[in-house]
A and B are shown apart, each in its own frame.
Chain A
Amino acid sequence: MIETVGLGKRFGDTAAVVDLDLRVEAGEVMGFLGPNGSGKTTTIRLLMGLLRPTAGRAAILGHDCHRDAVALKRDVGYLPDEPFLYPYLTGLETLELVGGLHGFSAVETRRRAGALAERLGLGAAARGYTVTYSLGMKKRLALALALIHEPRVLILDEPTNGLDPAGARQMRAAIGEYAAGGRTIFLSTHLLEAAERLCHRVAIIRAGALQAVGTPDELRIRFASAPGTTLEDLFLRVTEVEATGNSKGPGGS
C-alpha cells in the first residue's frame, strides 16, 4: 500500500531522511513518531511528491510518489502540518475548488462539500473567509479537503498539533471513524497516547533514520520493557538510546 525503499533526502549537507525502508499494509493505521526535526514532515512530503528524493524511492498503491505523482493523488488525501489556505476564499469555496479539481460535477462537489462541512463541524464558519479561521477551524477544513474525494490512503502530518483539547478530541474522533472504515492511514504525531490508541503499528524515526517499527507490544518486547510501559516511555528510550550513541540496547535497530 505504502512502501519506501532506501528513501533519502538531503538538503545541502544535511541528511533529512536516510535510507528509509518502510511498509504500510492496506487498512493499517501506521503512527510515525519522532522528535522535532527528525524528518517526519520531510518523509511525508516525499510521499506526497512535494519533494524530490535524493535516494531510493517511495510508492503508494503501486504509484511512484515522484514520477507518478498526479495519478497517486486520486487515491491519497493529505493534511499538512500547517494547512495554509487561500485567505479570501470561504471554506465552502475552497472545498468546491478542490472537489472540482478532483473531477466531480458541480452538483456532486456541492453535495460533498456541504456534507463534509457539516460532518466536521465547520458550521456557519464554512461561509466565512478562511483568513478569519482559528487554527482548529483551518485544520478541520484541511481535513475536509483531504477527505473530499474519499481517498483509500490518508496521510496526516501532526493533525492535532496546536489544537485545544476539544479540537484535538474531535480530530481524533474523525480519524478514528475514518480508520474504522478500513482505510490506510499514515499518521505523524507527537501525541503518543493518541498514537497508541489509534495506530496498529508505529515507526520511530530520529535524525532521518528509522529506529524501530512494530506494534507497541512488539516494541515493548524488543526493548525489554514491562507490559505497562507506555509508548511515551518506549519512544524516549528508543530516541535517547540513539541520542547517547548507545545503540547496543536490546533490539536496537
Chain B
Amino acid sequence: MNASPSLGAGALAGLFVRSRLRSFRNGLRARGRRRQPIVIAIAGLVTSLAYVGLFSQAFSVVVASVDLAGQVAALTVVAGALALGSFSAKAASSEAVRAGSAENEFLLARPVSLAALVAGRGLADAITDPMGALFLFPVLLSAALVWRLSPAAWPMAVAISAAVQVSISMFAYATQLVVVRAIAPARRRLVWMGLRLCAALALAGVWMVGTWVLRMPALLAAKLVTAGPWLRWTPGALIAAPLAALARGEPSWALASLGLLWAAAAAALFGAMAIARRAGMGGWEEAGAPWAEAAPAPRADGRLVTAATKDLRLIVRDRGQLLVLIAMPAIFVGVQIFGAAGWSWSTGNLARVSCLAYSLALYMATIGPLTHMQAERRAFWILRTVPVPLGRLLAAKARAWSVVVGGAGLLVFSGLVLVMPSASGAAVLSAGVLVTGGAVAISFLAVGMASGGADLSDEQSAAVGPTTIYAFLLVGSLYNLVLTGDWATRVSGLALYLFATVAYWRAGVARAEICMDAEAVRTPQLRIAEGATLLIVYSFGQRGLAAIDMAVGTEGAAAIAVLRLVLVLVVGGVAVSLLRRRPPTPPWRGRASSSVIGVGLGALVALLLAHLRVVGGPASPSRAPLVWLGIAAALAAEEALFRGVVQRTVEEDLEARGLRSWWARLGAAGVTVVLGGIAVVLGEGHTTRAVVVAVAGGQVAAALGRAFTGRLGAAWIARLAAVSGAAFF
C-alpha cells in the first residue's frame, strides 16, 4: 500500500482556516461561559473602530501641520512600531512552532512536515486573525480616509496588512526555530526570557508612539520631518509606501510597492520554510517542554521550605516569571512617565513621588501575588490536604509577597526622593511609611482577591480572569487618595481601603476552600467584597463628577446633577442585580409597620437636623417635583447598595461569626453609616461638615430602618422622610 503524500502548506492553511472559522462560528453560537468568542469579536470590532476614529483625528492634525513627506514619516513610524511590537510579541510568546506544545504534538503526529506546518499556520493567521498585526489595518484605513484616497485604497490596506502579517509570522517562527536549533536546552530559557523582555519593550514603545501620536501629533510630525531620510530605510517605510504613493497620485508606483511588500512576505515564507526543513525533527520533540528546558537542580541550601518561602523559591527558579515580575512594572511606570506625564512632573513633589512608587508596587502585585492561583493551579491539592486552615496558608503567602512588593515600593520611593525637590524629613518619613504600608497591604489584597476569583475546577480556563485584575486595579488605585488627598480624604480613603481589603480577604479564603469544586464556584455569591467594590466605584464616580462640577461652575450644574443621577442609578442597578443572586432574607416585620417605623425614624432625624440647624443651608434640596422624583430614585438606588448589599452582607457575616442577631443588625447598621459618611467625603472631595452630618443623619435613619424591620423598603422610606423632612421643616 502506498503511503499517503504529506500535506502541502497551502492545503494545511486551508484546513486551519476552515477549522478555526468553524470553531469561531461554534463559539458565537455558544451560551453561558463558553460565549467568549462573541465577546472577543465585539471587543475587537469596537476597538478597531475606536482606533480608526482616534488615529484619523490625530492623523488629520498631522496632515494639517506638515507636508506629505512629514505625513508619510508619521505613518512610517506608527506602522513600523506596530510591526516591530507584533513581531517581538509573536516571537516571544507564541509557542506555535515549539514542539512542546500539545497542539504541535497533535499535528506533527500526522503526515505533516514541520516546514508545511510553519507556512500553513502563518498563511492561515493572515486570514483568521485580522488583528494579528496589532491594529495595523485600522491605522492604514485611517490614513486612507484622512488622505481622501479612492475606495481602491481600502482593499490595498487589507493586502498590506495581510502581507505584513505573513511576514511577521514567518520571521517570528524562523526566530523560534533558530533558537531551538542553535541554543542548548539548558540555555534556551534564558533566550526565551530575552525575547520576552524585547517584546515587552517593543510593546511599551508602541504604546508610547501611540500616546505621542494621539496627544501631540503636530509636534511629533514636525520632529519626524527631519528624520525622514533615515525612516526611508526602515521596514515601516515599506509598509507605508503603497498608500503614500496613492497619496502622491502615483497608482502604478503604489501597485509596485505592494508587489514589493508581497515579494518580501514570500521571501520570508520561503526562508522560514527552508529553516524549518533544515531544523527537521531531530531534537525538535523536546523544544519548549518545561522538563527539557529546566535549569539544573539547585544545590541544597539547608533552609527548610515553608508555605511562605515556597512561592519565593518558585519565582526565583522560574526565571521567566522573575523577569516579568521585575521588568513589566518598570515598563508600565516608564510608559506612564515618558509617554504621558513627563519625568519632571512625575517627580515634582512628595505626593507624586509617593504615587509613582506605589503604582510600581501595584503593578508588581498585579503580576505577582494576584496571579498566585495560576501558579497553584495544578498543585493546589497539596495545600488542601494538609491540616492547616487555608486562611493561614494564604496569609503566609501574602506575608512572603509583601516583603517583595513592599520592598520594591520602598526602594523606588527612596530612589525617587533623592531626585525630587527637597521636602522635610518628617514628611518624607511619613510618606515612606504610607507607601510601604500600602504596598504591603496591596499584597494581602492581591492574594485575597485572586483567591476570591479563583476557579481551579476547569483546567482550560485561567485561574484569575480579567474581571479580577480590573477590580484589583480599581481597589488598589483607591490608595492613591490616601497618598495625595487632604486629611479627611486620606482618613476616609484608608478606612474604605482597609474595609475592602478585609472584605476581599475573607471572601478569598472562603472561595479558596471551594475553588476546585466546579459547581460551588459557579454558584452566584453575594459577598461584602462586591459591596466594597461598588462603594469604591460610586465614590470615584462622584469624585470625578465633583471635580468636573468645580471646573465648569454653575453653568453646567444641571448637567452634572443629571450625570450624578445616572451614576447612582447605574450603581443601584448593579446592586439590584447582585441582590437577585440570592433570595432575600425573610423580614422580621410586616410591610405596614415597617413603613411606619421608616417614616418615624426619618422624621426624627429630620427634626434633629433642624434642631441642630444643620439643614436649611447647602444640603437643602429644591422643591421642584422633578427634582424630588430624581431624589427618590437616587435614594432608592443608594439604598440598594448601602442597605441591600452592604448592610445585609455585613449583618450575615457578623451572625456567622457568632454575634447575636440584634447585635449583628446594629453592628451592620453602624458599619454602613460610617461607610455612607466615607462615601460622601470621598465622593465630594471638598465638602462641608453640614453636608456630612445631613447625609449621615439620613444614613442613620435608613440603617436603623433596615435593622428594625429587615426591609429595604423601610430603609428607603426612612431616608426619604429624613431628606424631605429636613427640606420642609
Contacts and interface: CB of A to CB of B under 8 A. Distances in A.
Contacts of B314: 86-89
A89 B307 CA distance: 12
B109 interface: no
A158 to B, nearest CB: 14
Nearest to B32: A12
A37 interface: no
A242 to B, nearest CB: 25
B297 A100 contact: no
A127 B300 contact: yes
A89 B386 contact: no
B486 to A, nearest CB: 46
Interface string B387-399: 1110001000000
Contacts of B300: 92, 127
Contacts of A208: none
A51 B520 contact: yes
B121 to A, nearest CB: 27
A96 to B, nearest CB: 5
A50 B384 contact: yes
Interface stretch (B88-96, B340-348, B375-383, B534-542): B375-383
A49 B516 CA distance: 10
A74 B387 contact: yes
| Size bracket, chain B contacts | 35 or more
A128 interface: yes
A97 B378 contact: no
Given A128-B297, A131-B291, A11 B519 contact: yes
A12 B519 contact: yes
A100 B313 contact: no
B384 A49 contact: yes
A83 to B, nearest CB: 8
Interface in B245-286: none
A249 to B, nearest CB: 33
B353 to A, nearest CB: 36
Contacts of B318: 87-88
Given A70-B389, A90-B298, A96 B304 contact: yes
B582 to A, nearest CB: 16
Contact of A89 (B310, B385, B517, B519): B310
B323 to A, nearest CB: 14
B379 A86 contact: yes
Interface centre among B378, B384, B387, B514 (most CB of A within 10 A): B387
A78 B387 CA distance: 12
A102 B307 contact: no
Contact of B310 (A11, A45, A86): A86
A167 interface: no
A96 B313 CA distance: 13
A119 B519 CA distance: 39
A150 to B, nearest CB: 13
Given A85-B382, A88-B317, A98-B386, A129 B294 contact: yes
B158 to A, nearest CB: 43
Contacts of B387: 70-74, 101-103
A152 interface: no
A229 interface: no
A164 B382 CA distance: 25
B305 interface: yes
A93 interface: yes
Interface centre among B294, B318, B375, B518 (most CB of A within 10 A): B294
A10 interface: yes
Interface in B296-320: 297-298, 300, 304-307, 310, 313-314, 317-318
Contacts of B388: 70, 101
A48 B385 contact: yes
B75 to A, nearest CB: 46
B520 A129 contact: no
A10 B385 contact: no
Contacts of B317: 88, 129
B516 A51 contact: yes
Nearest to A92: B300
Given A50-B516, A70-B388, A96 B290 contact: no
Contact of A101 (B294, B298, B386, B519): B386
B234 to A, nearest CB: 41
Interface string B483-519: 0000000000000000000000000000001101111
Given A70-B389, A109-B304, A131 B518 contact: no
A54 interface: yes
Interface string A22-60: 000000000000000000000001001111101000000
A98 B298 contact: no
Nearest to A110: B304
Contacts of A51: 514, 516-517, 519-520
6 contacts: A10-B519, A73-B386, A87-B294, A100-B306, A110-B304, A129-B297
Interface of A: 9-12, 45, 48-52, 54, 69-74, 76-78, 80, 83-90, 92-94, 96-98, 100-103, 106, 109-110, 127-129, 131-133, 145-146
Given A52-B517, A71-B387, A76-B385, 19 more contacts: A11-B518, A12-B519, A48-B385, A52-B519, A70-B388, A73-B385, A74-B387, A85-B382, A88-B318, A89-B310, A90-B297, A92-B300, A94-B305, A96-B305, A97-B305, A97-B382, A98-B382, A101-B383, A145-B382
A-B CB proximity, top 5 nearest: A84-B378, A88-B317, A101-B386, A74-B387, A73-B387
